[in-house]
Structure 1
Amino acid sequence: MATTTMARASLALVLLLITAAVGAANCTTVAYNDRALVIDGQRRIVLSGSIHYPRSTPEMWPDLIKKAKEGGLDAIETYVFWNGHEPRPRQYNFAGNYDIVRFFKEIQNAGMYAILRIGPYICGEWNYGGLPAWLRDIPGMQFRMHNQPFEHEMETFTTLIVNKLKDANMFAGQGGPIILSQIENEYGNIMANLTDAQSASEYIHWCAAMANKQNVGVPWIMCQQDADVPPNVINTCNGFYCHDWFPKRTDIPKIWTENWTGWFKAWDKPDFHRSAQDIAFAVAMFFQKRGSLQNYYMYHGGTNFGRTAGGPYITTSYDYDAPLDEYGNIREPKYGHLKDLHAVLKSMEKILVHGDFSDINYGRNVTVTKYTLDGSSVCFISNQFDDRDANATIDGTTHVVPAWSVSVLPDCKAVAYNTAKIKAQTSVMVKKPNTVEQEPENLKWSWMPEHLKPFMTDEKGSFRKNELLEQITTSTDQSDYLWYRTSFEHKGEAKYKLSVNTTGHQIYAFVNGKLAGRQHSPNGAFIFQLESPVKLHDGKNYLSLLSATMGLKNYGALFELMPAGIVGGPVKLVDNNGSTIDLSNSSWSYKAGLAGEHRQIHLDKPGYKWHGDNGTIPINRAFTWYKATFQAPAGEEAVVADLMGLNKGVAWVNGNNLGRYWPSYVAAEMGGCHHCDYRGAFKAEGDGLKCLTGCNEPAQRFYHVPRVFLRAGEPNTVVLFEEAGGDPSRVGFHTVAVGPVCVEAAEKGDNVTLSCGQHKGRTISSVDLASYGVTRGQCGAYQGGCESKAAYEAFAEACVGKESCTVQHTDAFSGAGCQSGVLTVQATC
């Protein structure tokens, strides 16, 4: 027995040594110099994209990462979401879409690098910027300043994440994918607006020291930390353009942590679109001017499931106009146009990171940059004019560069890529009705009233206080809802005007059990007043106020001090004679959440009493729960719930929270909806907005239902909590599929590729158009031009019935009398 035990021990030791040797062999060293990250001794250009693990599902991760790699990316970047991982003190969540180790292993399995942005403040249009609301309960707490309570909690969480990833061997030196780590986030943007400059400086230097103490074996970065940069960190740039930005120190590379591919969406705003041409222009300019690492924010935006949307007033969709849309579909031409650029940049990598460089300015806004190494050269020609083409000469050859574009010449002779000339196809995604279930209007609904009666008096609250408290600290943000309830004696009957000052975002007022008034604040003006006529009766009267939030502030100096709820009031009753009953300092009873939340009605547990067996349901009734069943749509295409007809509330499918809905909120009319031109600097705020869509339409109508939420071949349950009163009869489920596909600027010699292959089995059903000089309409609705019968026949023969096809544009396609040599092809999937 002893001999067997010793043999087993020896074998275990040998296996351990083999494992250690393999790990050592696979480990990656990461350093840096003034030109680039140095990975395993080699200077590298790194192309990265943001994919946030909680904004998708684990089942989606491999496909998203695979598409990112096929799009030419080297790395995946993500924030770490503190309030998602630690919703209550020392109660941790690393399951489901918060399984951070699994996410990084998927990146590793794909053979990609990873960038870990711990923060743990992240902004990210995420509730409270990722910071847990329970931090407010800790005595002496000051967010993001030099104080022991915050720094203790921040270090505790940072160490937890680092150790968790170390235990899984996820850092590069352990053989893992993580090549960079970030601490804090965009602190430099707010330092000047903080009340204690010395404390802010001490804090940011403490952050750097604490991070480096973690010994992760890879460099630490700080984005937007241009002033007061701590030692031993790399400061980086965020923005739509970073070509003219350079780090403060001369010994660190130029890194762009956030190239914004679009913009986030608010309930009152249309959809923002940043053109593929402009993003490519920004990327090419960045590498023309000595860039080393560039990260797209976002590469896949995803969905703010549950209560994760910050803001407040950020929508459930976090699509961000990213190269991979909210559902994980490839967004063309953005994805393909950038993929082509990535391939060209990678072909020039060695010369860009090692070569000598020189700039020649052709007057204002036109620059030729040449990199030279060992007799070989690569060139960029940038034209920053937004209203005119420009000429530039390299080695005797003159090149025409379109307005607001960059031409890339890998040999300084021929243009291999121009940012304004899109060769990739355009895909139009369409919503298709569920072909498995009946028509959406035939969904059979049942209903249940929200149990309001217990909240119509001031009894049975969690606690009482003779003042009006702030909502976030009172509820610890465990629900969107907080009840404020009080009672008072009144002699006789009388009419009053109820006046409530609140910091919102929505308020409902009940007097003696009846809804007396409701109001929501406009976005950005969260201090507002509810005024509503009420009638009091003789004796004891009850006032119940329900305050609702729509996501908490996530950005700005001292953002955590922005209050929510009816903090301080005043709450008054004013009669026609001006006499006032001030209830602000009455005895208020508090209770967070709704009865249906505590009962978990969204889980549809046995024993719940749903009504509607007779086929009738109440509509436009506030505080009502609805339920229906449906069959999962067939196939692999993304599924969405169409919630048109509803007002405001929350939706679940099979117990999974799809997020807040508010389709009754119509996006504002803005001038940017009527003008789109890729030329010129893109903006998301202020004057000069462009390329918006969705003005005067529901801010968000469709809500992502990930396939993993659904059960094939058996009934699925959708549960709605309708807060404000809507009509569920129009609710239905659709799939999102490729419809029309087009190539819009094919020049002679180009290989023109059309593809319906987002999902297996989807083929090209018809070729609709092949013409020169198309200038009217857009993909899916072209009005034609100078038709080419030869091109049409060639594409029809090669493409119909195929998932994808490639046809070379040749002289044989030229149409008689066509002045343009640029070919447009449109097909239908």
Structure 2
Amino acid sequence: MTALQFLLLALVAVTQVASATTVTYNDRALVIDGQRRIILSGSIHYPRSTPQMWPDLINKAKEGGLNTIETYVFWNGHEPRRRQYNFEGSYDIIRFFKEIQNAGMHAILRIGPYICGEWNYGGLPAWLRDIPGMQFRLHNAPFEREMETFTTLIVNKMKDVNMFAGQGGPIILAQIENEYGNIMGQLKNNQSASQYIHWCADMANKQEVGVPWIMCQQDNDVPHNVINTCNGFYCHDWFPNRTGIPKIWTENWTGWFKAWDKPDFHRSAEDIAFAVAMFFQKRGSVHNYYMYHGGTNFGRTSGGPYITTSYDYDAPLDEYGNIRQPKYGHLKDLHDLIRSMEKILVHGKYNDTSYGKNVTVTKYMYGGSSVCFINNQFVDRDMKVTLGGETHLVPAWSVSILPNCKTVAYNTAKIKTQTSVMVKKANSVEKEPETMRWSWMPENLKPFMTDHRGSFRQSQLLEQIATSTDQSDYLWYRTSLEHKGEGSYTLYVNTSGHEMYAFVNGRLVGQNHSADGAFVFQLQSPVKLHSGKNYVSLLSGTVGLKNYGPSFELVPAGIAGGPVKLVGTNGTAIDLTKSSWSYKSGLAGELRQIHLDKPGYKWQSHNGTIPVNRPFTWYKTTFEAPAGEEAVVVDLLGLNKGVAWVNGNSLGRYWPSYTAAEMPGCHVCDYRGKFIAEGDGIRCLTGCGEPAQRFYHVPRSFLRAGEPNTLILFEEAGGDPTRAAFHTVAVGPVCVAAVELGDDVTLSCGGHGRVVASVDVASFGVARGSCGAYKGGCESKAALKAFTDACVGRESCTVKYTAAFAGAGCQSGALTVQATCS
């Protein structure tokens, strides 16, 4: 080595040491480079977006007042087959963490590798089941060996590019396992469960990542060398299991995931802000939103059982990456205030004073400064609280924050930011669907209509996931029988699958799917047998795999054990359960990769007409990408069930024919009171009785500007693709309500060249309606003119609410403004 080379290496080493960050903790906070810090984090899952979206999502999170990004690691996406790895495209985890670093933000690496996350098998690869002696998430060598191998792989990849804080990288916390405490008591082997969770902690600490390891929802039997944390809608009354560690909230659920049979869940901005303020009032210091951006379940492995393709989660950034107002802005105001009080909150002495039932004042004092929180946990009454000679009205189910213990700077129930109504605009490039010319190709079912040429045979009905190793949603069960003469029967198939198609002698005789996510149903179909050999072909389908619960991997799918019977009109029965069954995974079109539209495929079109409502059919069309930068969606209303691709990129499963259930929660929404997502008392739902999902995200990176783009659909159940159309998603009406005298009122059209076209409402005391359809109230001509002059033609504007807005008989008070963007 030359002297110059030695000098360069020395300089690199010095630079790395100089940029290294130490991360420790005490009972009040994480300690980063010797400073106690408040961590405001948000979950963004890299496979649920695209690399091109990552910088924008991360920067919007930063602009929203966050300083940290959190993500799970998706084992089955990175290792779809044993020792065959995928770290490309949306699975380029290194690129994702570098984007976080480039934004100047911290990161939380939640390896798991069990993650739940409404993801197939909770992220665990199905091929694990092929390994002898394998037991998921218990103390056994096969599982622990594979788990350690993958964990070490991820850790080493991060170390190789200096992603941990001690190397100068953004990662300040790492997580091992996930919500294990929720199921420990339900497992049959408590000793094995305890040994396993302690092994997890020891294995993780052996990785020497230089940052603390956490375990969420591990309140009992907590290993000594990890920090246990809280998940849930509320964590203010939760405290860690031992002294000396900070109070960490790893998942504050900003909404809820959506299943095909459920409406859309919404959690109000007021309630989330209430939960966050309560957490910091009660000594919290590390807080993470799950989700901050939910995203999309692209592909077939990225959604759990019956979970829709949309994983919007009602997050502050919507599925497409747009800012969801008022949630984003209301929380941003809270983040900015919390961060401004950081030193007082993590260093200050504190005392809690009860002002009677459900009302508490907490005062923090440090360095001659003070901060006060007043919480009112009543759901049905506002409360007056006198503090330091000043009386403050605290609305029901809210927290007021007073940075100087005198003046309220923020109340969780008073939203000052705008509400944005997102609208879908037709593609301006071409008039669809009229100009979209379609061609089609039948799925080749012929090879599956007999029991010949299968992968193997068994004289029993096997479980689907273990049989197919989850390489496809579909598994064929095929058998044959001899029959004398003709006969009429009813075919009975008992299945644990999610859906079933039955063919007899090459003809589709019946289909069904499980209702309401029960995953157990019986298919009954009338059939006719002819004299001689008859063939029975059953196609079992899954719509995502079980991802949660004790021993979830043992929950069967498919026609596991049957029975399968033919019952004649005269009562005679033919039991096929133990016949010789031939098995084949997947469809012919999957094997041929028709979605890639390779040369040589024989697409058909007869004078521009195509067959519709035809099951097991592939469709293709071309379209021009919508102009601009706004998010793009394809409306698939009219289709039944299947999978969609644009330019070979999977948009995920579609099922617009599935109607969301009618539920009482669709008819009431009040932010006051604890939010729940399951059981009695659900509220704030939309979409009851409507298609569960009709719009599917088409990321801009999937599109080619200025040249034809290809949309390919595999229509499984029979639908009409000619109704498909592309739209862009943009801000339409924007509103600010409950504005008070002296407030600065900001309206924004969200960029992408959209500006305020008109100011439609500026009034006191709006009587009814919601943003975009406000009615009633006392119109203020002065306010209308001020907003019109300041806003029309501009992307954003700010107007101060002054006393001059009153007059002409209007009583000054809460002001509502509504504008339209175009």
State the TM-score bracket (shorter-chain normalisation): over 0.9
1:382-415 alpha-carbon deviations (Å, 9 max, x no partner): 0000100011121111111000000000000000
Whether 1:647 and 2:646 are equivalent positions in the alignment is no
In structure 1, the partner of 2:775 is 783
Query: For 1:60 and 1:17, how far apart are their aligned partners in 2?
Result: 37
Structure-to-structure mapping, 1:690-729, within 5 angstroms: 690-729=683-722
How far off its partner does 1:20 sit? Answer: 1.4
Whether 1:598 and 2:567 are equivalent positions in the alignment is no
Match of 1:757 among 736, 750, 755: 750
Query: For 2:592 and 2:769, how far apart are their aligned partners in 1?
Result: 53
Query: For 2:263 and 2:168, how far apart are their aligned partners in 1?
Result: 45
Structure 2 letter corresponding to 1:764 = V
In structure 1, the partner of 2:563 is 570
1:8-49 alpha-carbon deviations (Å, 9 max, x no partner): x33222222111111111111100000000011000111000
How far off its partner does 1:441 sit? Answer: 3.4
How far off its partner does 1:716 sit? Answer: 0.2
Whether 1:215 and 2:202 are equivalent positions in the alignment is no
Structure 2 letter corresponding to 1:797 = D
Structure 2 letter corresponding to 1:809 = Y
In structure 2, the partner of 1:683 is 676
SS class of match (1:93): coil
Query: For 2:131 and 2:434, how far apart are their aligned partners in 1?
Result: 51
How far off its partner does 1:667 sit? Answer: 0.3
How far off its partner does 1:543 sit? Answer: 0.4
Provide the aligned C-alpha RMSD in A.
0.8
Query: For 1:352 and 1:784, how far apart are their aligned partners in 2?
Result: 44
Q: Contact conserved, 1:309 with 1:315, CA < 8 A, in 2?
A: no
Query: For 1:326 and 1:139, how far apart are their aligned partners in 2?
Result: 40
SS class of match (1:442): coil
Match of 1:632 among 625, 628, 634: 625
Structure 1 residues 517-526 or 201-210, which shifts more?
517-526
In structure 1, the partner of 2:57 is 64
In structure 1, the partner of 2:113 is 120
SS class of match (2:627): coil
SS class of match (2:100): helix
In structure 1, the partner of 2:806 is 814
Q: Contact conserved, 1:49 with 1:296, CA < 8 A, in 2?
A: yes
Match of 2:72 among 65, 74, 79: 79
Query: For 2:3 and 2:708, how far apart are their aligned partners in 1?
Result: 56
SS class of match (1:530): strand
Q: Contact conserved, 1:201 with 1:228, CA < 8 A, in 2?
A: yes
Match of 2:86 among 89, 93, 105: 93
Structure-to-structure mapping, 1:519-534, within 5 angstroms: 519-534=512-527
1:297-337 alpha-carbon deviations (Å, 9 max, x no partner): 00000000011343310000000000000000000000000
In structure 1, the partner of 2:730 is 737
In structure 2, the partner of 1:407 is 400
Query: For 2:7 and 2:431, how far apart are their aligned partners in 1?
Result: 62
Query: For 1:692 and 1:153, how far apart are their aligned partners in 2?
Result: 41
1:416-457 alpha-carbon deviations (Å, 9 max, x no partner): 000000000110000000001222233111000000000000
Structure-to-structure mapping, 1:388-537, within 5 angstroms: 388-537=381-530
Query: For 2:469 and 2:5, how far apart are their aligned partners in 1?
Result: 49
Q: Contact conserved, 2:303 with 2:309, CA < 8 A, in 1?
A: no
In structure 2, the partner of 1:824 is 816
Q: Contact conserved, 1:26 with 1:175, CA < 8 A, in 2?
A: yes
In structure 2, the partner of 1:168 is 161
How far off its partner does 1:488 sit? Answer: 1.1
SS class of match (2:666): helix
Unpaired segments ≥5 residues, structure 2 = none
Whether 1:13 and 2:6 are equivalent positions in the alignment is yes
Distance 1:772 1:502, change over 3 A: same
Match of 2:39 among 37, 46, 60: 46
Structure 2 letter corresponding to 1:382 = N
How far off its partner does 1:527 sit? Answer: 1.5
Query: For 1:87 and 1:272, how far apart are their aligned partners in 2?
Result: 31
Whether 1:177 and 2:194 are equivalent positions in the alignment is no
In structure 2, the partner of 1:290 is 283
How far off its partner does 1:374 sit? Answer: 2.2
1:654-706 alpha-carbon deviations (Å, 9 max, x no partner): 00000000000000001111001111111100111111000010000000000
Match of 1:225 among 209, 218, 236: 218
How far off its partner does 1:820 sit? Answer: 4.8
In structure 1, the partner of 2:97 is 104
Aligned length: 821
Whether 1:579 and 2:572 are equivalent positions in the alignment is yes
Structure 2 letter corresponding to 1:586 = S
Query: For 2:751 and 2:730, how far apart are their aligned partners in 1?
Result: 8
Match of 2:317 among 324, 331, 348: 324
SS class of match (2:264): coil
Unpaired segments ≥5 residues, structure 1 = 1-5
Query: For 1:819 and 1:198, how far apart are their aligned partners in 2?
Result: 70
Structure 2 letter corresponding to 1:818 = C
Query: For 2:12 and 2:793, how far apart are their aligned partners in 1?
Result: 50
Q: Contact conserved, 2:273 with 2:334, CA < 8 A, in 1?
A: yes
Q: Contact conserved, 1:774 with 1:782, CA < 8 A, in 2?
A: yes
SS class of match (1:367): strand
The TM-score with structure 2 as length reference comes to 0.99
Query: For 1:61 and 1:668, how far apart are their aligned partners in 2?
Result: 34
Structure 1 residues 779-788 or 542-551, which shifts more?
779-788
Query: For 1:243 and 1:758, how far apart are their aligned partners in 2?
Result: 37
In structure 2, the partner of 1:35 is 28
SS class of match (1:812): helix
Structure 2 letter corresponding to 1:279 = I
In structure 2, the partner of 1:3 is none
In structure 1, the partner of 2:295 is 302
Q: Contact conserved, 2:134 with 2:140, CA < 8 A, in 1?
A: yes
1:517-543 alpha-carbon deviations (Å, 9 max, x no partner): 111011332121111110000000000
Whether 1:258 and 2:251 are equivalent positions in the alignment is yes
1:727-777 alpha-carbon deviations (Å, 9 max, x no partner): 011101000000001111211111100011332x21111111101111310
- Percent sequence identity is 80
Query: For 1:632 and 1:380, how far apart are their aligned partners in 2?
Result: 51
Structure 2 letter corresponding to 1:437 = E
SS class of match (1:765): strand
SS class of match (1:667): coil
In structure 1, the partner of 2:271 is 278
Q: Contact conserved, 2:751 with 2:795, CA < 8 A, in 1?
A: no
Query: For 1:433 and 1:715, how far apart are their aligned partners in 2?
Result: 18
Structure 2 letter corresponding to 1:621 = R
Structure 2 letter corresponding to 1:159 = T
In structure 2, the partner of 1:365 is 358
Query: For 2:667 and 2:302, how far apart are their aligned partners in 1?
Result: 28
Q: Contact conserved, 1:441 with 1:731, CA < 8 A, in 2?
A: no
